[in-house]
Chains A and B, each alone.
Chain A
């Protein structure tokens, strides 16, 4: 007869405050198969696990029920405790009395306790029918896909490739580098972004283990951890990168001018262009939307001037496939569009710019040669007002969250302004100064002293024009008065927002995203770089706004995760997969249609013993099967068995309550 042990956890106060744990223990003791039941404060702790190990040995238990938090949290922990005591780990059942009872029924302790008892009874009943199961080994494709080539994608790709694991890096734009390539100097140490970034970009291009696919998008991802197949669209660049030498004759001669994205539209680029001189790869692409040859069939100049004959107006988009075992998503962020701030006159006043526009202006390689200018008349501004939290922390017009980086980069901007225009004066309107980070507060303090910037605590309520100046009216909460500052230039520290295409990307990858469009991590504290889908990881701002140090740390963490995943030649997988009993299978193939993972194919078997005639049956690839159970439910012949969730187990559960 079965000998079940039940271990009920207090989870500190999480469970014990709302569920009467001792009473649950008393109740389960009344089930005849339960030979041992006990409560403990933290079952997941080492003494808690020791309790389980000892009880298994001393009481000769045959299955274990742990009534605690969600199995997503600690199932692995408790399975290991079973193994350590010499028991098959799959003889464990977890009754989730925290998420499913104490947390959701906090107002009614009696009901929560009763529900916890029911959950325990079900788990005990199920565990009696548990069978010994063994992990499955599946082969792994040791190649990683990195989506997005900002500093996050670059760092992740380099770290993985340095471990001699091949990487496919897919970047949407013509060059890698992301936003960091647009920055001048970087807080908190003021080293030049280009100087620390471009060597890494070059390393990516020349790394023997990295395949860089620029100007491309991921279209489809199929398969499962260790064995994904990815479809990538290489957008037509109309330039043959193999023959192009990067001489630049084409873009010098191209007559079409288009606002230059790299410089935030402050100057123009040509229809055939490299985004910036240090671009990687340093080859031009033709912007099909603006090239008059492609839109109207007129021009063709670049082809005429290109000596190696690299221009090809007939080039088409190309779809390629790669097999990878893991994916790192590093699609970065967008800048929030401040148009809703109509009271600031955004869009009407030319001398209101965003922080990234300011960043381009003060950049040595920027459109104004590193000296800020007023867009209206090209004059060098003397009085500059910086407004923080534009769009951030604003439920009415923008987004609720704090964008995290603006306090720091605005401080940086006051320093850069001071460096470039010595007789300038900066004013910063702020709600708080959030400078948490190594050396950050010191950086802010020093900047305040060195630059003599006037910090005004309060929101700006209005900007209006007076002559050629902008009058910035806001509250100075420290003196409790409305103040007006006369500005030559106003810089808005606009919020960081999630990339617009993130929801679509998340859908095609099968991962989740939050209400803002940021991709969701599996656990905010303990699994911050993993997604809920095995083998897909997150790096950089695509998960939440963050600065470069944090982005790089997360990227390296992703690389460590990928390397860990690829440590063996095969990968261990839970044995909760479906199998088909050929004798019952009628070959209707309904299961093939419902399987969301494409794990079921058909097979031919003899119609009877020794017969030569064949009939069709379904066959499940256990490597692909994720144990969702859809096939079990659809099979009218009851030919499918899902290990760990067999009919006897489920029926036992139902009968127990």
Chain B
């Protein structure tokens, strides 16, 4: 059994409840026990860091200090925004002890920040601490036939010097996990384009435009569904999809799964526990592809440029 410190964040109890609950199903299969940070507080996204530096750092720091009271050396975070605030704070505090000391004067009661706990997104935790191979071993119901476009958004791998995980422009960790589940990850060039994030509320037009492009490219790539690991991405791509369709006059009908929903499905959890009814875009059409493996392999054209040495010597 493994233990992992968990920062649930506010969306886990609201908009992304299905992320949180399927994450727990997945971790059960992977034999990981979550320990919530006792008395955790808001991470500060998205308002604190545009208001004051002190608040932007102090809110996450309080969580980091509280996490140090548990024995685990890693904190897993489901929400990409929470992850971002927590990781930025950790990196900046570790790089600059003077700054840490100053911010710590706001977080006095909880104790002194020591930098003992590493911060990872759940995607990073799956990829680095569990491993693609272990995930593959746990699959009891292969997703073969399902084609997915893995969408990472902007926060999970950026900026590179903060996240230090996967590629900032063309990440592949989620693709590899999906392939381990049996699904096919399409070549999807918009995997790190911006979805419009919290403009969803203040300037919906922006989101309709940006998320619309992502949906179009996902469809173009041949995907039946999009897979995400961020609540905001999920809500923009799923909840705004009908508006986008109306605006563009195109029917996309492309459901947006959390990676944990697909993992839980492949690990053999009953479908009624996966919270699919919470989705705006119905998932049934996409899921119907599971099991339909196309018999004709795609034609590979012979490139004129071949780089590896070959020998005709027998």
Contact = CB atoms under 8 A, between A and B. Distances in A.
Interface of A: 255-259, 265-268, 290, 292, 298-299, 342-343, 345, 348, 350, 367-368, 373, 375-378, 462-466
A255 B313 contact: yes
B201 interface: no
Contacts of A257: 309-312
Contacts of A256: 309, 311-313
B298 to A, nearest CB: 14
Contacts of B168: 342
A257 B193 CA distance: 41
Contacts of B170: 342-343, 345, 348
A375 B309 contact: no
B306 to A, nearest CB: 7
A464 B190 contact: yes
Nearest to A255: B312
Nearest to B309: A258
B17 interface: no
B309 A259 contact: yes
B220 interface: yes
A428 B275 CA distance: 50
Contacts of B313: 255-256, 292, 298-299
* Majority DSSP secondary structure for residues of B touching A: loop
A295 B17 CA distance: 60
Contact of A376 (B169, B190, B303): B303
A255 B312 CA distance: 6
A377 B301 CA distance: 7
Given A345-B170, A464-B189, A464-B190, A292 B304 contact: no
Contacts, number: 59
Nearest to A349: B189
B307 interface: yes
Interface string B179-200: 0000000010110010000000
A343 B306 contact: no
Nearest to B310: A257
Top 4 closest pairs, chain A to chain B, by CB = A464-B189, A342-B169, A375-B305, A255-B312
B119 to A, nearest CB: 24
* Majority DSSP secondary structure for residues of A touching B: loop
Given A259-B306, A259-B307, A299-B313, 15 more contacts: A255-B311, A255-B313, A256-B309, A257-B310, A257-B311, A292-B313, A343-B169, A345-B170, A345-B189, A373-B304, A375-B305, A376-B301, A377-B301, A463-B189, A465-B189
A299 B313 CA distance: 7
10 contacts: A256-B309, A256-B313, A257-B312, A259-B306, A298-B313, A342-B167, A343-B170, A345-B189, A367-B304, A376-B301
Contacts of B283: none
A350 B305 contact: yes
Nearest to B217: A464
A258 B167 CA distance: 31
Interface string B289-314: 00000000000010111111111110
Interface residues on B, range: 20 to 34
Given A256-B309, A292-B311, A375 B217 contact: no
Interface in B116-169: 167-169
A375 B303 contact: yes
Contacts of A266: 304-305
Nearest to B193: A462
B309 A265 contact: no
Nearest to B312: A255
Contacts of B310: 257
B305 A465 contact: no
Contacts of A290: 309
Contacts of A464: 189-190, 217
A348 B172 CA distance: 12
Contacts of A348: 170, 187
A267 to B, nearest CB: 8
A140 B167 CA distance: 58
Nearest to B301: A377
A375 B307 CA distance: 12
Nearest to A463: B189
Contact of A268 (B193, B217, B303, B306): B306
A267 B309 CA distance: 11
Interface string B188-219: 01100100000000000000000000000100
Nearest to B192: A343
Interface in B8-55: none
B170 to A, nearest CB: 5
A266 B189 CA distance: 26
Interface in B242-256: none
Contacts of B311: 255-257, 292
Contacts of A292: 311, 313
Contacts of A255: 311-313
B214 to A, nearest CB: 11
B293 to A, nearest CB: 24
B69 to A, nearest CB: 39
B297 to A, nearest CB: 18
Nearest to A347: B170
A620 to B, nearest CB: 53
Nearest to A340: B169
A465 B309 contact: no
Nearest to A258: B309
Contacts of A367: 304
A267 B168 CA distance: 33
A348 B190 CA distance: 14
B82 to A, nearest CB: 26
A328 to B, nearest CB: 35
A265 B307 CA distance: 6
Contacts of A368: 304
Contacts of B217: 464
Nearest to A263: B305
A466 B220 contact: yes
A286 B198 CA distance: 62
Contacts of B193: 462
Contact of B187 (A343, A375, A465): A465
A595 B252 CA distance: 79
A290 B189 CA distance: 36
Nearest to B216: A466
A380 B67 CA distance: 60
A348 B175 CA distance: 15
A462 B193 CA distance: 10
